[in-house]
Structure 1
Amino acid sequence: MNTSSKVALVTGATRGIGRETVRQLAENGVHTLLAGRNREKAVEAALELQAQGLPVEAIALDVTDAASIAAAAQEIERRYGRLDILVNNAGVMLDEIGKSVSEQSLDTWRRTFDTNVFGLVAVTQAFLPLLHRAPSARIVNVSSLLGSLALHAQPGSPIYDFKVPAYNVSKSAVNAWTVQLAYELRDSRIKVNTIHPGYVKTDMNGGEGEIEIADGARTGVRLALIGEDGPQGGYFYMDQVLPW
């Protein structure tokens, strides 16, 4: 590969918004690593994008497995020596529809947080040394409008009656982590932001949604490619700043 090009890693990228994020970054000339828990699925997805002439490679990475994260970080360090873009996209929604907030099992909460919060933090911690080696690195945390505490507490808001508690609270935690990390990185060359991709037609919501997957990836790609004058520690949907 051309070592002067940017190197990006997108987690949870074998399908949906993650895979489309890989596509759009690669279309912008970024050498993009398509990460998935299942190496075979990651390779299959990467080969399809390579067949379109895009600079994409597969990498195995399970965000809930410390050994898998460490192996991926070591592989990227060995091959590229740095990481320019990290898109923390991997996520799950495990709440049992029909159960109230207080009825969701503790196991549901734990498994949701293992992927959506602890996995995201673990991946970020593992790759921060490589991000610091890049000239101007970017971290994009894929959250959701459902993580907005302000809107959940506001009667009549678009999400006021949409209580999927474990998922929602995990995304609130992602937003809070982003703010804390942005403070740590405020004087560095790394910018970190969190995004709402939109109500996208994906497998996670059974194909329901208001926008196509291509549109759902655009906010994350935009934040991944911002310049030095771009935001730090923000919460966005397209060009709109969202309420925490």
Structure 2
Amino acid sequence: MKTVLITGANKGIGFETAKQLAQFNYFVYLGSRDKKLGLEAIRKLNDLGITNVETIVIDIADINSVRQARQQLERKIDSLDILINNAAIAGDQPQNFSACKLENLRAIFDVNFFGTIQTTQEFLPLLRKSSQPSIINVSSEVGSLAGHSSPNRNVGRDKFHAYGSSKTALNAFTIMLANELRDTGVMVNSVTPGHTATDLNQFQGTKTVEQGAVPIVKLATQAHPDITGKFFRDEGEVAW
């Protein structure tokens, strides 16, 4: 049974992704900053008859928490097949760069960018022990520079400059890490769930969490060594 760690998995898209992957017979570790919330998520899955799941406490912005989670997982498994870097924060409004507070920008990057990188670095040795390791970074179309520079761009994305730029940085991390690891067999890709209704956007999204999890689950279950350094959505590849 393949093993998966999903950060920020006690709710929203992370929880739904965990549910769907568990139903595909993966053993899923649900990362949660709060142990109580993580256990509540496990109980919900157990109530659905899903037992191949377990919670693990991890705050990706806290390196000590990340290291403790890695040590805990190393005591349980010999290798990790898939790391899904899902945990993220939206930050406060306003986010347009002419008015955004730098404290807000730093807080967003501390989780969405630096937190993801330090989590990946900690779990990479465990991933390398897998026969087909995969790192999936949950990004967003508001991080697409092609989208922002298009004459037909969605002006609604201007409300998320800080959040979007953190996802642009995350996409750069995806490409560069994929290139670095290209000859090692470790696949690294970005994926956007689309505009999904979660507490990240005050449930204003147009897609359900069930729909939003689909491209993430597809990328996890249909991994191929030649597919790395890419950015995907439901309809296929996204322009960086």
Fold-level match, TM-score > 0.5? yes
Q: 1:151 aligns with which of 132, 147, 164?
A: 147
**Pairs within 5 Å for 1:87-102:** 87-97=84-94, 100-102=96-98
The code of the aligned residue for 1:177 comes to F
Using the TM superposition, give the Cα deviation of residue 159 of structure 1 relative to its aligned residue in structure 2, in angstroms: 5.0
Larger deviation, residues 213-222 vs 230-239: 230-239
**Pairs within 5 Å for 1:140-219:** 140-159=136-155, 162-219=158-215
Task: Tell me how far apart the structure 2 counterparts of residues 146 and 231 of structure 1 sit (CA, whole Å).
Answer: 23
Task: Tell me how far apart the structure 1 counterparts of residues 152 and 128 of structure 2 sit (CA, whole Å).
Answer: 43
**Change in 2 beyond 3 A, CA 1:23/1:230:** farther
Q: Which residue of 1 aligns with 2:63?
A: 66
The code of the aligned residue for 1:72 comes to A
SS in 1 for 2:76: helix
Q: 1:22 aligns with which of 18, 21, 31?
A: 18
Using the TM superposition, give the Cα deviation of residue 239 of structure 1 relative to its aligned residue in structure 2, in angstroms: 4.0
Using the TM superposition, give the Cα deviation of residue 181 of structure 1 relative to its aligned residue in structure 2, in angstroms: 0.5
Task: Tell me how far apart the structure 2 counterparts of residues 242 and 81 of structure 1 sit (CA, whole Å).
Answer: 34
Q: Which residue of 2 aligns with 1:7?
A: 3
Q: Which residue of 1 aligns with 2:76?
A: 79
The code of the aligned residue for 2:195 comes to Y
TM-score by length of 2: 0.96
The code of the aligned residue for 2:92 comes to D
The code of the aligned residue for 2:118 comes to A
The code of the aligned residue for 1:127 comes to F
Question: What are the superposed Cα offsets for residues 202-227 of structure 1, whole Å, 9 maximum, x if unpaired?
Answer: 11111112111101011111111224
Using the TM superposition, give the Cα deviation of residue 160 of structure 1 relative to its aligned residue in structure 2, in angstroms: 6.8
Using the TM superposition, give the Cα deviation of residue 229 of structure 1 relative to its aligned residue in structure 2, in angstroms: 5.3
Task: Tell me how far apart the structure 1 counterparts of residues 138 and 166 of structure 2 sit (CA, whole Å).
Answer: 11
Q: 1:36 aligns with which of 3, 27, 32?
A: 32
The code of the aligned residue for 1:30 comes to Y
**Change in 2 beyond 3 A, CA 1:100/1:42:** same
SS in 2 for 1:80: coil
SS in 2 for 1:100: coil
Task: Tell me how far apart the structure 2 counterparts of residues 239 and 156 of structure 1 sit (CA, whole Å).
Answer: 18
- Superposition RMSD in Å: 1.4
Q: 1:231 and 2:198 equivalent?
A: no
Using the TM superposition, give the Cα deviation of residue 184 of structure 1 relative to its aligned residue in structure 2, in angstroms: 1.1
Q: 1:117 and 2:102 equivalent?
A: no
Which runs of no fewer than 5 residues in structure 2 stay unpaired? none
TM-score by length of 1: 0.94
Percent of matched pairs sharing the same residue: 39
SS in 1 for 2:80: coil
* Kept after mapping to 2: 8 A contact 1:151/1:159: no
SS in 1 for 2:158: coil
The code of the aligned residue for 1:58 comes to T
Question: What are the superposed Cα offsets for residues 156-198 of structure 1, whole Å, 9 maximum, x if unpaired?
Answer: 2235753411101000000000000100111122211001101
Task: Tell me how far apart the structure 2 counterparts of residues 105 and 227 of structure 1 sit (CA, whole Å).
Answer: 39
SS in 1 for 2:75: helix
Which runs of no fewer than 5 residues in structure 1 stay unpaired? none
Number of aligned residue pairs: give it. 239
Using the TM superposition, give the Cα deviation of residue 78 of structure 1 relative to its aligned residue in structure 2, in angstroms: 1.1
Task: Tell me how far apart the structure 2 counterparts of residues 95 and 231 of structure 1 sit (CA, whole Å).
Answer: 35
